[in-house]
Amino acid sequence: MNGQVYLSRVSIVTGASKGIGRDIALRLADDGLDVTINSRGGRDLEEVAKEIRAKGRKALCYVGDVADETAVRGMVERTVETFGRLDVMVANAGAPVLDKLVELAVEDWDRCIAINLRSVMLCYKYAAVQMVNQGEGGRIIGGPQVCGYSASKFAIRGLTQCLAIELAAHKLTVNTYTPGVILTPMTDVGPLDKLYGGTHGAYTKHVRDSSFPYPHD
């Protein structure tokens, strides 16, 4: 091996305690990456870390609000301190707004934009800084998809396209994934069904030809 030290590839997944983020983190571990998993707290995050370690990969739990710049910068720094590098950033964290626009509190709108858009910008920024400094390329991925949620998520498309152009010279790719409606704890909520006049399942039935998969699909 000519005395060289080969480091495992390293990823960060935000919003990774459950749902799509959890399954992305587990898939990255299956693909041989060590993973920093993030959420705002809770026992679920440690359970995901145990699953990653059971696959033979390393896991770091980072509790923090990714709408906060200090938290995101610290998450990237802690990842690099722990694993030595960063190769993949998946800005997955998101929060739904369940009220109709005419009934929506401005404070709830602002929080939606902070979690669904500001957090992605911060993850993109600090991951890009680290990957450019490494000089080995990398992958940056964001997840765009009831009113404020769609608006904030659609804005990620423009942010992603601009950053992809900006970072192309550094052999960094920046893309989005758009899974549509996935059956996760986020979609299993009473208020969303109540908007369409029913119990659980009313919302999914409202969508034409609804046949929604689970994250592991």
Catalytically active residues, by annotation: 149, 153
Nearest to 154 by CA among 195, 112, 186, 122: 112
Task: Report DSSP letters for 103-127, one per residue.
Answer: G--HHHHHHHHIIIIIHHHHHHHHH
Q: Which residues contact 108 (CB under 8 A, 6 or more apart)?
A: 97, 99, 148
Nearest to 157 by CA among 139, 178, 187: 178
Nearest to 16 by CA among 75, 53, 54, 61: 61
